Chains A and B, each alone.
Chain A
């Protein structure tokens, strides 16, 4: 039997605007199983990133219930929420969000520092992660010295190093050229297959869609289509 690791029930998200509210999500019902490679697609303002933020416990729904790893996001304290992110969720951002003063190694190591690993364990885990994304020889470089593709690989390694159950990627290829975008997506697909990590993307990039096994279309804060598809590209 497949295992639901994300379950969204009638999720509504409202943001205060002036004297009123803007409703970004209007009753979203979705479930994600372990090992899925799914994408949220839709035009700007359709609610993709908001939904991703709720799934990543960076934000909470105004109404409804969002269960991630069995935990109700709305009821978690800051500390519990931080622990959930640290142990189970990896993030990949459009602009990589690498810490500029740290080396590649230190960037990837960061999540592990928040867990109680020994230095030797951390070193092995970081080098493994860098090897997965093919930049093990760049470990001592600072982010400023990396190309866009390399920067995003570091971000993926940082998201994957703690072997999370879920990786949430917000427009991960938006700043990359086609060649780098394909390379990144292949890497993520490979990790999805090998480690069984659930990947959820927010994107409107055609290239990303070609790798997805499930495409969820959002429009004006609602799910308009949710379909399992045959991935165009495989690894």
Chain B
């Protein structure tokens, strides 16, 4: 085995440019696979952290009549949770409304939240600090689409529990800058007590945000753990990984085709050499092993070459991050302006293993032919 590796190394070094071209292509595949997976993992980690911090907390207790994917359930999707069940929970009440910035009409989701809460990062303390009659905090996306800024007033219309329309001016107490568009786009956050007051929905809440991951049981309410809440995000990133894997597969396929092609040509061109190895005392399977290891050696050299230019690139990007286009901020999932790739040991090892095993297999396939070679014909270079 050691000898086959030594000889494979010598053969590859002796082959010069041909070797380095294959190694270059393969190392590029390596670096790109690790980098793109690192970006997805970085995005995943950032999105999970941000979504937990800005929206989900440690879990949510949701009223059964409310379906976050169905806006028609907002109207009646609220109830009063028994007081003894509310420990460690922050209530959120959802109502639909309309605002009229600069004469335009914008549908908005009014979210009432306990102004004293500290579970999620929404700056609800600003609601307490404001002297306005109806202070609200909004995200930067909402501020941009409604052309609002801190201190601005805007007319807001809503319906109370009887369906009667009412309207008043709300004041923007703060504009927050977060990565989670699902707490920002088309939404206004206000003190839940004030929202309950203007809608006459005393004690009501649509869902509660938990400060600890302790499932709460209450009739008509369902507790969703952090993992369950993040399932959509996880599924989306998994789907993105699958679709990206097609690209990795194609990239790897090109690199492996180059190795396969080199090996087929090599075996045809190096028949005399194969015959010489056998005449010098190598068994045919040892020659097969030698040629297979030459393919494996491509992947090992590609690992080394890829490390030389890949590691500095990975470190640089992990520190400075990669800027994301502005449009991606409104995709409905948490995407930061910069994503910092995360390279796990598992990702690196699995990529190295994938490339080494694939390169070994594509080298072995044509090399098997050697086992059937007649050494006399090989020495004469007569094999077809």
User: Which residues of A come within 8 Å of B, CB atoms?
Assistant: 53, 56, 58-59, 78-79, 82-83, 85-87, 91, 93, 95, 97, 99-102, 106, 110-111, 113-114, 158
Contact = CB atoms under 8 A, between A and B. Distances in A.
Given A101-B10, A101-B14, A56 B280 contact: no
B11 interface: yes
Nearest to B279: A91
26 contacts: A53-B376, A58-B278, A58-B375, A58-B376, A78-B283, A79-B283, A82-B278, A82-B282, A86-B280, A86-B282, A93-B379, A97-B273, A97-B275, A97-B379, A100-B273, A101-B10, A101-B11, A101-B13, A101-B14, A102-B10, A106-B10, A110-B280, A111-B281, A113-B7, A114-B3, A158-B280
Interface residues of B, number: 25
Contacts of A78: 283-285
A187 to B, nearest CB: 20
Nearest to A162: B281
Given A87-B281, A101-B14, A111-B280, 4 more contacts: A78-B285, A97-B275, A99-B276, A110-B280
B272 interface: yes
B15 A101 contact: yes
Contacts of B279: 56, 58, 85, 91, 97
Nearest to B286: A82
Nearest to B2: A113
A59 B376 contact: yes
A221 to B, nearest CB: 16
A85 B281 contact: yes
Q: Which 4 A-B pairs have the closest CB atoms?
A: A101-B14, A86-B281, A82-B283, A97-B276
Interface in B1-60: 3, 6-7, 10-11, 13-15
Interface in B276-320: 276, 278-286
A62 to B, nearest CB: 14
A114 B379 contact: no
A102 to B, nearest CB: 6
Nearest to B381: A95
Interface string B193-223: 0000000000000000000000000000000
A53 B6 CA distance: 29
A3 B211 CA distance: 95
A87 B283 CA distance: 13
Nearest to B380: A49
Contact of B280 (A59, A79, A106, A114): A114
Contacts of B14: 100-102
A82 B272 contact: no
A85 B277 CA distance: 11
Nearest to A87: B281
For A82, A97, A110, A158, the residue with the greatest tally of chain B CB atoms inside 10 Å of its CB is A82
Nearest to A91: B279
Contacts of A97: 272-273, 275-276, 279, 379
Contacts of B7: 113
A40 B286 CA distance: 32
Contact of B281 (A82, A95, A102): A82
Nearest to A56: B279
A87 B282 CA distance: 11
Task: Name the residue in A56, A99, A106, A111 with the highest tally of chain B Cβ atoms < 10 Å from its Cβ.
Answer: A99
Contact of A114 (B13, B276, B282): B282
A58 B379 contact: yes
Given A101-B11, A101-B14, A83 B376 contact: no
Interface in B226-283: 272-273, 275-276, 278-283
B116 to A, nearest CB: 76
Contacts of A53: 376
A175 to B, nearest CB: 14
A93 B277 CA distance: 13
Interface in B333-384: 374-376, 379
A83 B281 CA distance: 6
A158 B276 CA distance: 11
Contacts of B10: 101-102, 106
Contacts of B286: 82
Contacts of B276: 93, 97, 99
A95 B281 CA distance: 19
A58 B279 CA distance: 7
B316 to A, nearest CB: 37
Contacts of B275: 97
Nearest to B14: A101
A129 B285 CA distance: 29
Contacts of B272: 95, 97
B66 to A, nearest CB: 72
A85 B281 CA distance: 5
B376 A85 contact: no
A110 B14 CA distance: 15
A56 B376 CA distance: 10
A113 B6 CA distance: 10
A99 B280 CA distance: 11
B376 A113 contact: no
Contacts of B285: 78
Contacts of B6: 113
B12 to A, nearest CB: 9
Contacts of A95: 272
